[in-house]
Structures are given as structure tokens and as C-alpha cells.
A and B are shown apart, each in its own frame.
Chain A
Amino acid sequence: MKPLLAFFALAFVLSACQKTVHLNLGTTSPQLVITGAVTDQPGPYTVTMSTSEDFYSNNPYPSVSGAQVIIADTYLRQADTLTETSPGTYQTHTLTGVSGHNYALLVNYNGKSYTAQSTMPAPVELQDISFYSQSFGKNTDIQPIPNFQDPPGIGNDYQFVLYVNGKQLPKTFVFSDRLSDGRFIHETLNTDTSDLKPFDQLRIDMYCIDPNVYNYFYEVTQITDPGQQAGNAAPGNPTSNIYGGALGIFSAHTVSSSQTDVPKM
């Protein structure tokens, strides 16, 4: 239910003309980025550390090595010190993610500490995937619909990660039951025309995420989705759950997957 989006879309279809422009966006000093996750699937779990770069940089994001990274299950009072397996990638050893447990992340790097906490919500099963199609001229937009039952009680938040022919789609999709508590959910994910084609193999991983993680990724969609950028006059950095001044997010979430072939529509 995104009437505004459809509204802007229609406006652009009518008469818009688009071109790529080069803007003077200046330079920024690199900032530390930490992303990490604990799931209800078997480990190891990964924390990634990198830095930001200039908008027009054409290089891979610089990785950050040599940090001390610890994830603790605060319920079981067990801590796991991660090992850097490749530059900027740190992995757990013994930790097993359990729904309902609270996880804490501690990172020590360059004399500064960064902390974050996330509680893994109860799991919800992704039942299956269906599709919705709409044609504009020669293009046919095929968009996936994850189908699942939202449990009673407001506060269930979801994230969807899409894999097309095994490759992750670099887009963020989230859904909150704020207006949908207890419903059977069949909400279209707004993929682009070129993202899905008939006979592609599609896998959707549905995460149940905690409210802070939902807010973070909701704000990510507001600044990354071109349609939402058009409707957002005051973009800002998403509110992170990491204390200490780093960008990124630490999420403890469940995973439920479903896989299917994209039909010809």
C-alpha cells in the first residue's frame, strides 16, 4: 500500500526526461561501518567491517582489519570472540542463535569501542511466493509477493532478501505489521523491471527483525530507493543501533526461505 509511490510513478511516466549528471558532491573523511548478524540458522555468523568512501569513488569499499570483535548471548552469558577470516570479515566459533535471546556486539578498534544490542524475535514462516505483473509499453514488470501469516500482536517486523539465480539483489525490502496486525500478508515487493525475468530462479529469505533494525532498514529504503528519494525532501543517515559513532547495523533475526521459478506472465 504505497499510494504516494504510484502517484510519483505516474507523474514521471507522463512527461519526465532523465539523464545522468555529474554533481560536485565534495569529499568525506572515511567513516567506520560495522554490519553484523546472528540468525536462528547454524553458524558461523559474520561481522563485516569497512569504511565509507566518496560518492564518485570507483573502488571496492576499503575493509577494516585488526579489530577485536565479540558477540555475546546475554541470556546464556556466553561470549564468542570472532576471528578475522579474510580482510574485514570476522566469524564466530561456538555461538548458536536462539529466538528470544538478546545478543550484544562489542568491537574494539583503534582505541575506540563500539557496542550494539539486538533481540531475536519469534520466527514466522514464509509460506510461499507468488507474482504480480504489470505492463508499461513493451516492458512487463514482474514483482514477487511473499505470502505469510502475521501472528497476533503489533510489533512484528520483516525484512526480505532476494536472490535471483543465486545472486543477491542489492536492494532492501522491509514490512511492518503496524497497519496489518494478524493478517495474512501478500504485499508486493517493488522490484525494478530489469530485476526479474521469466524462468529466473528466485529465492526469498524472510527475516523477522527487531524494531530498531526495522527502523534502520526502513530509513535505508527511504534514501536508496529512487522512487522514495523523490518523496523525501530531507534525507539523513539511518538511525543505527550501534553506539560509539559507527555506521551500520547489528541484527539478530530469524530466517525462513522459499524458492521458486519466475513464471512467464
Chain B
Amino acid sequence: MIKLLFLPLLAPLALVAQNKDRHTLAGTVKDRSSGETMIGATVVLMERPVTGTVTNSYGFYSITAPSGTYHVLISFSGYATDTVEVDLHKDTTLSVSLAVGQELKEVVVRGGRSNTNITQSLMGVQKLSTADIKNIPVLFGEKDILKTIQLLPGIESAGDGNSGFFVRGGAADQNLILLDEATVYNPSHLLGFFSTFNSDAIKDVTVYKGEMPAQYGGRLSSVLDVKMNDGNDQRYGVSGGIGLIASHLNFEGPIKKHKGSFLVTARRTYADLFLKLSTDTTLKKSTLYFYDLNLKADYSFSDRDKIYLSGYLGQDKLGVSGQFGIDWGNSTATFRWNHIFSNRLFSNTSLIYSNYKYNIAINSNDDNITIASRIVDLHLKEDLQYSLGTDSKLNFGIDVIHHEPSPGIINTNAASSYNPVSLQKKYSLESAAYISHDWTPLPGWKLTYGLRGSLFQVFGPGKFYTYDSAGDVIHTDSASSGQIVKSYFNLEPRFSTSFQIGDNSSIKAAYARNVQYLHLLSNATSSTPTDLWIPSSPNVKPEISDQVSLGYYHNLLDNRYEFSAEVYYKALQNQIDYKNGAQLQANENVEADLLYGPGRAYGLELYAKKKEGKLTGWVSATFSKSQVKIPGVNNDTWFNSREDEPVNLSVVGTYKASRKWSFSANWVYNTGYPVTWPSGKYEVNGQPVYLYTTRNGNRMPAYHRLDLGATVITHKTQHSESSWTFSIYNAYDRWNAYIITFKQDPNNANQTLATQTALFGIIPSITYNFKF
């Protein structure tokens, strides 16, 4: 079986032999004014129009073609298309800088408009640039990529105003969230109302909804690959924004002109300044803010070597002075080295550090308690791209991550009600090797297929417990430092293909297996900073998903309109649920409180987008189902999971009324998520206790909301600009249910009541943005 899988992987190598009279054209595509490398720019040889390529994450492209003279067409959405004549009689380097296209003017370059959504073999991919999210109105006027992607098909919001999201019925922890390749374990600030991604610092966002290329792994549902901006390598610039709740500032410039640049982006919220104005003594003493800092520097030593250093530091603080405080945050650092071995072979080596931590301090009635928890990753990654020809490219590499979660160290004072405790640290190594081949066997038929082999090793030192069905420890193994306690090896095949029908349509099919070795434990209704990440272990098996999907893509009016329809079916293994009364906090035996079962999810995703003109935007509709089967729950039958929202609609529109004014609106609707409500009640010791019959047998009320926005540019020159953005979140003031709780009627002991809590009514906001 394994031999058969490798056979197609070797086929392209045979093609190399035929490449004698072929030469390679390679180079980098950049923005002319800032020197920023451009991801996903299209490079096509006009004389061989079927064989184009796109630049990789570092702006690099490589095309191999027979000897000859070619016209090379380089294009990128929003930029003026460039054409260069090249004599390809030897391997040639061609680096191009594109200038920003004239706004509002319809630049019509035949073939310049991208139709990669049709031609590329990958499916279930959504790409957003900063320009896409700029005009979409959001909560508190704070632009947010994690909220904008929730408007795309197949991606659901985890709650009102929440940056958490579910992809194709998968839980929030099944999304791999990468910032310049570093894993971000908690992508939210302030209880999830803001994401950790400051949109000023973001260049490009790609979401893979399950069928990710083989270089990604470790999560079941999706990969959210966020790339930070590079600095401007030609001139210094300052930009920023002042909003009601947060302000941000961005400073960038050359380290050495055309050689290197730096970028510093900072953001700070000041909700707590308003608390200080409160007359309430407790609120006055409260702290509530976050800040984040993005840093990036790059430097080219030669045409062949470039290094990047990027860093992120985010911190939330929340608390009441002298009583309670919690702070949490991610920090990541990525060092990357791009090396071009030859025009055909591109290499990137990454060394990545990622740290997520939280600290809690409690001071009340003689208790002084601190709780510290963190998860530290060290990650080495080598990715290679080898161009075999115009229509054939090989990606391969290795990936090694050392995980070291420290679930909790609790310190207490002598007078405290609690003992100090140190929960065991957990050590594991997650390694992978992958190979993937992009191939165009025939004009109009593209193929990406690959294989990822992943190995997860659980190491000592530590105690490893075996539990009986009641959750009591029946056996304890002690492992010494470095001893391998358990290994899991999985082969993850990935396959996707597209068949083009005429110029404007294509059909695609894909299959992918994904394996997840880290799991987030949370039985709360929304994510909290104290949710616990646990590695797979002898008790906790890796989660596995197999997803198949099929899609139809159609573009209209010279690619001005895009339409797509995708269906998917996903089978899941070893999904995690919790026993009644599961104790997830400070519990060495937390694994005894877990239950495991299979899951399944399927759905239809429709998407229509208008890409050009005064009015742009999209309509997205998702019809889906997501279920699990957990032993002992609902008589061992399939039931709807928390992520099951059968209907999900969004409409997003931006209207550019003039050079100064633009308006935007978005409307969302989704079925309420499944919840477990009591159907009856009974009395125990004078108190009503609720009687439950079916897990997730009820649904929250449907959610819908309209947001409006307007932007006016008050000043604009070549390098400077200032504008005001007005937005109204929840314009028709619908108090969407956030949670529903149950209690005894304080006025009638025989009566019980249901209480609905809503978080946000209508919220207007205003932001001032500047750039010079």
C-alpha cells in the first residue's frame, strides 16, 4: 500500500530527464513603492498561456520552459500589470516591481484579472488581503481578520462579537493559527472580543478549510496562515489610528535602502480609562486592557539570501485591584532564512519560538494565591520548492516541534485555604516529513498530491496513569527523563485536482487526512484564557479526520464575478467530550474525566463575489451538519455538536461613492447553536434541580445582525492620508442571546425561570486614521 502511494511521487522525477533544452526563469515580485514582496502574484508566459505560476509566500516564482523568446506578464489584484520581454536561452533571473493601479479607473488588461480560483487545484481555500477587510464594519470599529473570515462560507462565529471560529463543524482548537509560521495558541484578547491580530501589521491571510497542502499539519479543521507585513525598504513612514477603545501606531522604514527594512506596530486598548471615570468603587479599581506589539525586520545579503526576523508580543490584563487579577498573552519569534540554491530550488529555513502563558493572582480573606501556566514550543522547519518545469513543481520538507506545556503551578501563602501544587510538565516531540507535487498533466487539468508522515512522541519524566471506567487510577508508570512513553505514527495523504471546462469554469475534487496531537479542553460556553491544552498520551489518542470534497467554480464577465459551490463530508475519530462534573482545573487526573467518540460533518457552501466596480462584496451561504457519538451520552446515538449551525448566511457590500466617501454594510444570519436545556425539575433539599433529557437537544434563538460603516478621506497626497471611519455594530439593535440560564423565581418558590443574557445592543464607534 505504502509503495503504491510513493509511486506517483516518483513520477515527476522522470520528467527532469527530459528537461535538457529547457531553462528556468525565476525572481521576486515586489511592490514598487514599499519594496514589500508580493504573495500570490501571477506570472504567465504569454506564448504559453496555460502555464502560469504564482509567487510563493516570499514573493519568489520559478518557471521552466523550452528555449525561446517570451513575453512575461506579471499581475496582482489592485496593481498595474507589467509585461517584460525575456530571451530564455539560459537560466535567467527576472525580478519585477509593480506599481499600485489607479483607483476607481477601470484598468482593463485582457487576461490581467486573476482567475486562479478556477485554475488552481487546491479547493476550500479563502484568501483575504488587508484591502479586503479595510472597509468592513466591526465591533468597536476595530478591524479584525478573525471576524472578517467568519463572513466566508464554511466558517462560523463562536459567539457574539467573538473572534473564535469553527470551520466546517470543527471545534475552535482544530484550527491551526499561524503568525509568520509560529503557532498562536490563544488568538483572542479580552474574552474573545478582539483577535490578537492587529490588522495594521497583517499583509495576507489564507484559510485552508481542511484540504491543506502537505506542508501544514497538526490540526483537523483548518489552517489560518497569517503573514505579517514587511517594512518599507525605501522610505520611512508613520501611520496609525485613534479609536474609541483602542489606538494603534505603525512605524516602518529602510534599514538599508532596497536591502532591508523594519516595521514596528503597536496597539493598546484603554477601556479601563472609562472605568476610572465610574463612580462605582469596584469598577474604579478595575483593570481591563490589552496591548500588542508586532516587530519585523528583513535584510537581503545577496540576490540569493534573505533573512527575516519577526516577533509578536501580546498581553491582556484584567482584574480588580487588590482582589483578583489575570494576565495572559502569546509571544512568538520567527527567524527565517530564504536561500535560492538555483533558479529551480528555493529553500526556507525557519526557527520558531512560541509561548502562551497565563497568570492568576487572588487576594481575598487572607488568601494570597498565584497560578501560573504556560505552553512553550520550539520549532524547526525546512521547506524546499523545486521547479521541475512550467507545469510541475515539488514541495518537500521536514518539521520538528518540541512541546512543553506546564499546566499549572499554584503558590499559596501559609494562611491560605489552599496548598501549593505543581502539576506535572508534559514533554513531547511532534515531527513530520512531507512531499507534495503540483502538476499539470494536460492543459486544463491540474493536480496536487502529496503525503505527510507525522510522528508524535510522548517523553518522560513524569507519571503516567491508567484509569478504570469509573476514572480511578488502577496503575501508575513512572518514566525517566527522555524516556519515550508512547509513540504515534500517522500517514496523512493529501490530494486535490481541478478540471477546467472552457475558459470560465472548473470542477475540483479533493481528499485529505489530518491528524491532531494537541487538544484544548474546555467545557465552558465560550473560550477562556485558562482553557487547558493537553498533548496526546497513552490515554488520549490523536484525533483523526478524513475529508472529501467536490466543487464547481464559475467566473462571469471576464472574471469580474466569481461563483463557487463546494460540498464536503468529513469523518472524525477520537473526538473528546467530558464526563458529568469533569474537573478541568488543577487536576492531575484530568484524563480520567474525558470521553471519546467519532464525529461526522457535511455541508454545502455557496459563494458569489463581485470583485470590481463601485460596488464590491460577496454573498455566502452555508448549509451544514456536525454531529458526534459519545459513549454514555444520549443512549450512544449521534447527536448535534456545539458547532452544528445548519444555516449560515452573510452578505457583505462596499460602495465607493466618490474619491472621498465609501460606504459598507454586512448582514449575518445563523441558526442558533445546540444547547442542553432542562425539560423538567425536581426538588432536592429544598432546592429545585433541573432535569435534563437530551444532550444538545435544544437550540439557541437564531442570530442575526446588520453592521454599517462609512469612511471619508479628508486629506490625501502621494505619501500622506487621513480619514475618519464611522461604524455601527448591530444597527437594528437586536439583543442576540449570548447565554440562557435558569433559576428559581425569587418571588415564587414553585416557579422556575429562564433568563436570557445578551452582550451587545447597537454600538456606534468612530476611528481617526492617519498616514505620513
Q: Which residues of A contact B (CB under 8 A)?
A: 1, 3-4, 6-7, 10-23, 25-28, 31, 33, 35, 50-61, 130, 132, 134-137, 145, 161, 168, 170-172, 179-188, 194, 215, 218-220, 222-224, 226, 229-239, 247-249
Contact = CB atoms under 8 A, between A and B. Distances in A.
A168 B523 contact: no
Nearest to B421: A179
B683 A28 contact: no
A58 B750 contact: yes
A229 B743 CA distance: 10
A28 B680 contact: yes
Contacts of B741: 226, 229-230
13 contacts: A1-B417, A3-B324, A3-B360, A12-B757, A17-B759, A28-B691, A31-B691, A53-B682, A183-B416, A186-B417, A215-B581, A226-B742, A247-B691
A239 B683 contact: no
Given A172-B685, A224-B688, A28 B759 contact: no
B172 to A, nearest CB: 12
B631 interface: no
A220 B410 contact: no
Contact of B585 (A4, A52, A168, A224): A4
A231 B524 contact: yes
Contacts of A130: 365
B682 to A, nearest CB: 4
B684 A220 contact: yes
Interface stretch (B122-130, B426-434, B671-679): B671-679
B756 interface: yes
Given A55-B678, A183-B417, A236-B580, A224 B687 contact: yes
Cβ-closest 3 pairs across A and B: A52-B682, A28-B680, A219-B581
Given A26-B679, A247-B684, 18 more contacts: A1-B369, A4-B530, A12-B757, A18-B758, A33-B683, A54-B679, A54-B680, A55-B681, A58-B748, A224-B687, A224-B689, A230-B525, A233-B522, A233-B523, A234-B577, A234-B578, A234-B695, A238-B581
Interface residues of B, number: 86
A33 B385 CA distance: 68
A31 B642 CA distance: 28
B755 A239 contact: no
Nearest to A10: B318
Interface in B505-539: 522-525, 528, 530
A184 B417 contact: yes
Given A27-B679, A55-B681, A135-B282, A235 B418 contact: no
B686 to A, nearest CB: 5
Contacts of A230: 524-525, 739, 741, 757
A1 B394 CA distance: 55
Nearest to A219: B581
Interface of B: 191, 280-283, 286, 288, 318, 320, 323-324, 326, 360, 362, 364-367, 369, 371, 410, 415-419, 421, 522-525, 528, 530, 577-578, 580-581, 585-586, 642, 675-693, 695-696, 698, 735, 737-744, 746, 748-761
- Interface of B, secondary structure class, is strand
Given A3-B371, A11-B191, A226 B755 contact: yes
Contacts of B371: 3
Contacts of B761: 17
Contacts of A4: 524, 528, 530, 585
B417 A187 contact: yes
A168 B687 CA distance: 9
Contacts of A56: 752
Nearest to B735: A17
Contacts of B581: 215, 218-219, 222, 238-239
A3 B525 CA distance: 16
- Interface of A, secondary structure class, is mixed
Nearest to A176: B583
Contacts of A58: 748, 750-751
Contacts of A16: 738, 757-759
A1 B752 contact: no
Contacts of A188: 364-365
A233 B522 CA distance: 9
Contact of B530 (A3, A20, A51, A235): A3
B523 A19 contact: no
Contacts of A224: 687-690, 742-743
B683 A235 contact: no
A172 B687 contact: yes
A31 B522 CA distance: 31
Nearest to A248: B684
A168 B369 contact: no
Contacts of B528: 4, 7, 231
B682 A180 contact: no
Nearest to B685: A35
Contact of A179 (B326, B525, B586, B748): B586
A235 B691 CA distance: 10
B282 A19 contact: no
Contacts of A249: 684
B281 A135 contact: yes
B743 A226 contact: yes
B755 A180 contact: no
Contacts of B689: 220, 223-224, 238, 247
A234 B576 CA distance: 13
A17 B690 contact: no
Nearest to A26: B679
Q: Which of A52, A168, A220 has the most CB of B within 10 A?
A: A52
A25 B679 contact: yes
B362 A3 contact: yes
Contact of B692 (A27, A180, A235): A235
